């Protein structure tokens, strides 16, 4: 949704912007072109590999980088003595590089360790989560974060399997979940999609991060500045919608989310569930 993002943020020469989920640097590079030569874009990512690739790919561009969670934005801005910025982008989906990494387990099509961490050097991998959580806790997690109605059946199968052979790889989990979903109840997405989503959210504490960031954003964006957030499931979208609607410091520019065009969905099927919401920071009221 590159065109939609550029229209939403309307980057101008000399502005200071943030891409809080820099990933492969695609959005970052286009934003940097628009703010050059006197502006800059701060690219943040939790994945050290992503930061290394961005530094190599965008060498010489007006780009600053920081490795960490986007919730650390106040700290990153303080380090460069920039209290506020003109715009912030958060694209909450996975990057193509992460999906292609066979050491992370994000993809059903590539077998590898069931890690699912954005930063492989921090936190607990998903396979360990599956080993230690109770059946009830697993079922609740898969239902709450994945909105998977067969969560109890899946959790029961995981616990039964782990008694003799713990689930350690992406293919093992995908195969197990697939056996738990009746053929008549399968839709267009892979049967394991919701379970993988739930585990990834839990491992990376994604919803907690988004809540914290949404509470911090108004103080980090100048009046007239814009925030654009792309979510990929209803849990994220609901948080963004409520924050933009309920906080008087935001004026919504999208009462309904912008969705990808049919052409984009055809060329990039992973974009089919994307929803873009945009808001502008309004001036604080004076008494």
Per residue of the chain (287 residues), give pLDDT as tens: 889 999 999 999 999 999 999 988 889 999 999 999 999 999 999 999 899 999 999 999 999 999 999 999 999 999 999 999 999 999 997 777 788 788 888 888 889 999 999 998 888 999 999 999 999 999 999 999 999 999 999 999 999 999 998 999 999 999 999 999 987 766 777 899 999 999 999 999 999 999 999 999 999 999 999 999 999 999 999 999 999 999 999 999 999 999 988 888 778 777 788 999 999 999 887 54
pLDDT at residue 102 in the model = 83
* DSSP structure class, residue 72: G
In CATH, what number does 98-204 get? 1.10.150.170
User: Are 109 and 170 spatial neighbours (Cβ–Cβ below 8 Å)?
Assistant: no
Cα separations in angstroms, 201 against 85, 116, 167: 28, 9, 18
Handedness of CA 203, 178, 180, 183 (dihedral sign): positive
Residue ranges matching CATH 3.40.50.150 in the chain:
2-91+207-281
pLDDT at residue 190 in the model = 85
For domain 2-91+207-281, is the CATH number 3.40.50.300? no
Give the closest residue to 200 by CA, choosing from 271, 88, 95.
95
Residue ranges matching CATH 1.10.150.170 in the chain:
98-204
* DSSP structure class, residue 45: E
pLDDT at residue 287 in the model = 44
**Beta-strand relationship, 221-231 and 40-45:** unpaired
Tell me the C-alpha distance between 219 and 281, whole Å: 9
pLDDT at residue 185 in the model = 64
pLDDT at residue 286 in the model = 59
């Amino acid at each position: 949704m590159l065109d939609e993002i550029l229209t939403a943020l309307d980057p101008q020469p000399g502005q200071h912007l943030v891409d809080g989920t820099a990933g492969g640097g695609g959005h970052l590079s286009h934003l940097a072109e628009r703010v050059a030569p006197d502006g800059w874009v701060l690219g943040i990512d939790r994945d050290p590999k992503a930061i290394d690739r961005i530094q190599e790919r965008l060498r010489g561009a007006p780009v600053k980088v920081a490795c960490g969670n986007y919730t650390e934005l106040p700290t990153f801005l303080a380090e460069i003595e920039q209290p506020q910025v003109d715009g912030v982008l958060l694209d909450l989906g996975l990057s193509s590089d992460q999906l292609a990494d066979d050491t992370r387990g994000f993809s059903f099509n590539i077998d590898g360790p069931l890690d699912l961490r954005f930063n492989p050097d921090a936190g607990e991998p998903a396979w360990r989560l599956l080993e230690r959580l109770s059946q009830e806790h697993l079922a609740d997690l898969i239902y709450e974060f994945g909105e998977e109605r067969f969560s109890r059946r899946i959790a029961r199968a995981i616990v039964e399997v782990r008694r003799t052979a713990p689930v350690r790889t992406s293919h093992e989990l995908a195969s197990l979940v697939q056996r738990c979903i009746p053929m008549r109840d399968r839709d267009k997405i892979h049967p394991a999609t919701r379970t993988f989503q739930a585990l990834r959210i839990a491992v990376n504490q994604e919803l907690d991060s988004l809540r914290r960031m949404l509470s911090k954003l108004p103080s980090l964006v100048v009046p007239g500045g814009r925030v654009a957030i792309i979510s990929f499931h209803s849990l994220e979208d609901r948080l963004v919608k409520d924050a933009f609607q309920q906080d008087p410091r935001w004026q919504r520019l999208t009462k309904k989310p912008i969705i990808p065009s049919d052409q984009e969905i055809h060329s990039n099927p992973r974009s089919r569930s994307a929803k873009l919401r945009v808001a502008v920071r309004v001036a604080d009221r004076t008494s």
